A and B are shown apart, each in its own frame.
Chain A
Amino acid sequence: MPRGQGPVTEGGAPGDAGRPAEPSRTAPLPREVLEGFRSGDVAALGAVYDRYNRAVWSVAMSVLHDREMAQDATQETFLRAWRAAASYDSERELAPWLYTIARRTAVDVHRREARPTQGGHGAEQDVVVRMPGIERAYETWEVRSALDELPEQERDVVRMSHFQEMTHREIAEALDVPVGTVKSRSHRAHRRLAVRLAHLVQGGEA
């Protein structure tokens, strides 16, 4: 299950000397927020949304591959979570509980919205609905959560490197920083990811 561990903190690296570390976007939620959420407080739900909306969105997209359905699934996940908040044990981590709801909601939305039909005016035929992304939902949640825990500068380098397929030199030019700075940010970011995602590599061993 998702491990809601906090951000990995490590020392600075050459190339970014003197530059203060940027805060991660995923500071742990305070206990009073979790208890407020459990009691149905709308403001606390807003804080929970702010903390987890990106991970929920990623799971929804990985299962549904459709922005509109992912919007429905994301909203419905938090709505279901809020409705069931009293069953959440605020002594435990919220992430595994919310992930279960997110995954199940995405499946439900897919069944509801994406059931294939025979087309034309023929009767709808029930068939097995394939969801190619479902087996990767957990990995998607974990990777997205790990990315959210990175400082923004490091996350940018990872995004440009993997998603935009840019080399370190191209990233350096785009960001207008020395290549050495990109290399140090990249190594630091990938090391944080390696530590955070160790359980996906070797059952939590690092």
Chain B
Amino acid sequence: MNRPDDWADYLDPDAADPSLPPSEREALDRIVGTLALGDVWGEPPAGLRASLLERVAAESAAPGTAPAGPYPLTWSGVPTGPSHPAAPGAPVRPPSRFGRRGWWLSAVGVAAAAALVAVLAWPQPETTTFAMAGTALAPAASATAELEAKSAGVAIVLEIKGLKPARAGTYYAAWMRGPAGVVPVGTFHWHKGGIPIDLWSGVGSDTYPELFVTLQHEGGPPGPSAEVVLTGRAG
């Protein structure tokens, strides 16, 4: 029996079903099930890489935070980050009974004040919405861009109207621009149309306020082409 060939036939939905032991069929069924899931076909947003590297660069630039040595590993062997042990040598004295009560009352007061401050100052989701207009290359196109700050970057949703699907060999790319330069935030073809486009940016609209979409050609240079089809600006 040539197992890889038989297994290949079993995995291939359009091939003849070979005779296999139940244990192998069960294992192959699990693989087929996994192949049918979106989990193994999706990709992280294009901007996540830039967001990660930006965060790492900032962390390595900050004194004392570069990965100069291995961080402590948890029991599971997974690093958790730098530990912050208490300063050595500090005298430790058991509090008196009055002192404990006083500490407790103080703690309650501090906690209440902190809770009040937290309620008043709890950050609302930072969402910025603005309109994008079609350029002379796509005069019928328009879009609404919604930018929402997340812990790992900025989630961008484009609601586009009137834009033609990208021709074969081309695709659309979205970019954010600011005084410091241009950052890619994602690509799409717009073949289906009518569905919101999810993009991701590692930079915010405060420093990169301009959002624009270009028509790119496969195999072309990595930067934005001159074929701008949509443009808009936050604020």
**Interface residues, chain A, with chain B CB atoms under 8 Å away:** 40, 42, 45-46, 49-50, 53-54, 56-58, 61-62, 67-68, 70-72, 74-76, 78-87, 100-101, 104-105, 133, 136, 139-140, 143-144, 147, 158-159, 161-163, 165, 167-168, 183, 186-187, 190-191, 193-195, 197-198, 200-202, 205-206
Contacts and interface: CB of A to CB of B under 8 A. Distances in A.
Contacts of B70: 84-87
A72 to B, nearest CB: 5
Main SS at interface, chain A: helix
Interface in B157-200: 198, 200
A67 B38 CA distance: 11
A75 B40 contact: no
Contacts, number: 182
Interface string B38-70: 111111110011011101110010000011111
B44 A57 contact: yes
Given A86-B69, A136-B34, A143-B35, A58 B40 contact: yes
B42 A187 contact: no
Please tell me the size bucket of the interface on B. Answer: 35 or more
Which of A84, A139, A140, A161 lies at the interface centre, i.e. has the most chain B CB atoms within 10 A of its CB? A84
B14 A183 contact: yes
A42 B53 contact: yes
Contacts of B66: 40
A40 B60 CA distance: 9
Which of A100, A105, A168, A193 lies at the interface centre, i.e. has the most chain B CB atoms within 10 A of its CB? A193
A183 to B, nearest CB: 7
Nearest to B66: A40
Contacts of B34: 136, 139-140, 143
